[in-house]
Amino acid sequence: MRDVILFCEESFHEKFVGALLRRFEEERQIAVSPRFLSSQGGLPRMHSEFRDFLRDLARDRQSLPDAVIVVADANCEGYNARRDLMYDGLHRYPQFEQLVSYAIPDPHIERWMLADPRAFQAVFGRGCTTPAVKCAKDEYKRQLRKEIRDSGIEAPLGGQEFAEDIVMAMDLGHVEKHEDSLGRFLQDLKGLFNAWRDR
């Protein structure tokens, strides 16, 4: 059983990335035990909890996991800028750098939900428009809610209640090639699971 610690900016990230881990676990037959140490409270709280976790890990107050995944929206600052912000807490602990992977939806997690129109159709009975990259505040939240509502379904939680359904229906090869930020994370996940299989 592989112990995976996740630090998520919000509960939507927990639902989506948790579903991806379950899918990889099923498809690759490698048992994973995910622990979400942060999934609410936004980026400042997650950043602080991540730093505290690394400090405790260095002091042997936490057991060493098999992997740590940090999940935060790029928020139009770009993948590298958001990763570098999180790395700011990690650079003091170079012994743990190889443990950490990043899932950084660019610009927001709702875009990942719309990345595969065929998966959307499988879940909601109609396709969706793959959105152009825009940085307007809440643009993707509005678009995801509209696409779900247009299928005749309401999403009181903003769509996160359907994250697992979307992930399980996704053509991961397609989204890896056509959705850059999700593709990066999928490549990291493949690398993790391949390494675990080979041990």
Q: What is the pLDDT of residue 62?
A: 83
Q: Quick: pLDDT tens for 63-108.
A: 899 999 999 999 888 888 888 888 877 888 999 999 999 999 999 9
Question: How many structural domains are present in the chain?
Answer: 1
Give the pLDDT mean for 151-156: 93
**Mean pLDDT over the full length of the chain:** 91
Q: What is the pLDDT of residues 5-58, one digit of tens each?
A: 999 999 999 999 999 999 999 999 999 999 998 767 788 888 888 999 999 999
- Identify the domain containing residue 55 by its residue range: 2-198
Q: Is the pLDDT of residue 137 over 80?
A: no
Tokens describing residue 128: 């969706």
- Mean pLDDT within 179-193: 95
DSSP state of 171: -
| CA gap 83, 87 in Å, rounded | 6
Taking the C-alpha atoms of residue 83 and residue 33, their distance in angstroms, rounded to an integer, is 24
